[in-house]
Amino acid sequence: MIIVVHFLLIKQNLRFDFLTNAMIQDITTKDRKQFHVNVLGYKNITFEHFTVSAPDESPNTDGIHIGRSDGVNVLNSEIKTGDDCVSIGDGSKNLVSNGVTCGPGHGTSIGSLELFKNEEPVDGVTVKNCTFTNTSNGVRIKTWPGAEPGTCSNIHFEDITATNVSSPIIIDQKYCPRNKCKINEESKVKLRNISFKNIHGTSALPEAVKIIYSATLPCENVELADIEITHSGPTGPVVSQCSNVKPKVSGKQNPAPCSAPIPAKPTSAA
């Protein structure tokens, strides 16, 4: 079954549950109070030429939130919002985000993961040919400390352009907004096979790369290849902060990998 949807949608929530083999095209969604689109239980679904617009100060207005779905594609879309442009939740598998323009917003995020019991693994996510402008994050993985065990594997970010992004590259296994977590405990989410390749542009803050891993679940195969990020602000050069990780490195690297320590009490980005 092939479903093709063409329409302008304004001022109502949009939710797709348990669809298979669908194409959803040419939708504009504007100024929602919370998530613009929620995707649950999909298999082989493509969103293309999707436009989202919301003020940058609007909370919880994620552009497209995806969970427990296999084979979702988000292609050639423009998302301006006050939260994650594309948020990828538990149970997401074989997902591709290609040609997405994000900004303002919080970037593309996997997670936050394993706050609740019985969350499913994330496996096979590719984010490529995407542009982030004036966002708080670029590409990000975030997991809760002291919460539930889980896995997140085979995640690839490549051919990314960041312009004046506060945190262009971030893995945060101490994600703890508003201190509502067990910050002194370690994350129980195992991260495997994560790569950041050909990521370039400017960072609004000196900390352009921030990789915070769990001390009890050391990384397995994290790769940084051809990273070229400079600082767009008035203070010093960009740095790369690392904790509990020694990434595989290749190609040009600016900032130098793991050139600065993580603060004792890191601040979680929104």
- Catalogue the active-site residues: 83, 106
CA distance 204 to 135: 9
Reduced to 3 states (helix: H, G, I; strand: E, B; else coil), residue 177 is: helix
- Look up residue 179 and give its DSSP letter: G
Buried b (16+ CB within 10 A) or exposed e, 15-54: ebeebeebebeebebeebeebbbbbbebeebbbbebbbbb
Tokens 């949807």 sit at which residue? Answer: 5
Tokens 């939260």 sit at which residue? Answer: 83
Q: How many CB atoms lie within 10 A of CB 170?
A: 26
Identify residue 17 by its one-letter amino acid code: D
Q: Which residues pair with 106 in a beta bridge?
A: none
136 closest CA partner among 89, 169, 111? 169
Q: Would you mind telling me the total number of residues written for the chain in this entry?
A: 270
Reduced to 3 states (helix: H, G, I; strand: E, B; else coil), residue 178 is: helix
